[in-house]
Structure 1
Amino acid sequence: MTTYPSFLDNFTTTLMGTKPKESNLHHWAILDAFTDVQDAEQRLRSALTAASQAGSAAAEKLDECLELLLDRLAAGADLSMLLSTACCSVAGAPVDKPCALSGLEQDEPCCQEPEEPAACLLDACSNAFAELGNPHAVASADLVDILQHLPGVAGNHWRYSDLTQARLAQLLAPHGMRTRDITLPDGRRRKSYSRETLLTAMGVCTSC
């Protein structure tokens, strides 16, 4: 997860007496996707180095490398999609042209300030967690796989069937939900959403 502004950035804004600029969620999603690509490449390089030194256990290490390579390709695809998707607002002003990859016909108006995801999306995520036995975290890819089978619109004009990991990240970001590298119950370490964060976004007390 990209963290900005930092303490120094906030201090500079206060010192200069300027008003903080409102950030664009699409830009945040690009930064997070780029970070995911870098992290995936780093894990892949480390695994390849370990595989070259594994000796008799090389076959097992190569399976891990293949899985990490698939992760890297998926992260790259998400980043490519975000970079090629039109950003609907510049400095808070709507752009008068249709959004790319929105799932709408070209003559339908759609460019506007990003809307907050409907509460039903959080409910759908909660149901997906329940379907998997309410684990402490669910991989972003696994969550998208489940949500894609739902009818209707997830938010921001995207149908559930058209969701990708990057699009889901954009929809959940206003609710404070971002992916983290989490070791899942099956031993995989993936970009995942935690159940605690989801419950907090839904207004459920997690400390009771």
Structure 2
Amino acid sequence: MTDGLAFPLLLALPGLLLSPLAESLIHAWLPRLGGIPSPRVRITTAAVTALLFGLLAWRFGFSAELPAFLFLALCGVQLSRIDFTLHLLPNPLVLLLLGGGGGLLATAATLAPAWSELLRALAGGAILFAGYLILGLFSPGSIGMGDVKLAAPLGLYLGYLGWAQVLYGGLLGFVVGGMLTVLMLRLRRGEKPRETAHGPAMVIAALAVAMVMA
């Protein structure tokens, strides 16, 4: 095992453990969302979270920003799971991502210091939120208010990384959303078409841009 792989593999283990813990806490906090997911779903979300933890550790290394992006991965997977199954992005969880992510990024900016990045993060969150709000008002059938609210914390994270990340993260969300829609139509061939949740595409796009764009 090389030193470059040791840290990502080490960080993957907390992701594996924190995912089922998050699902239990969400169930206790928001019982209206239904029971604890099935074992198959819990295994899948734990594996995805562990993979993301490892990739983010590889991307950011032992840095002040890493905890914030691990928090994004943990919350993002859970929000995607809920939106995929219930077509709902619960306000408390979106606000948790916004407040927790903002606090962790502010801590990173203090330690760095990186005050310009933090100001850009706040602007990025506001811009992406405003963009989604306009789309939601003009095309309510394709963009829900939950997606509009989720744009704020995702824009916050993307803005911390740079203006290009905000642009590409916002655009990529629609590309991924279209791909997921086509995939679901193929998998559900013969069934009545259903609306595809856009939240997972937004989370995938934000994490992909965060990991690929330096």
Q: How high is the TM-score relative to the length of structure 1?
A: 0.29
Q: Which has the larger radius of gyration?
A: 1
Q: How high is the TM-score relative to the length of structure 2?
A: 0.28
Pick the structure with more helix per residue. Answer: 2
Pick the structure with more strand per residue. Answer: 1
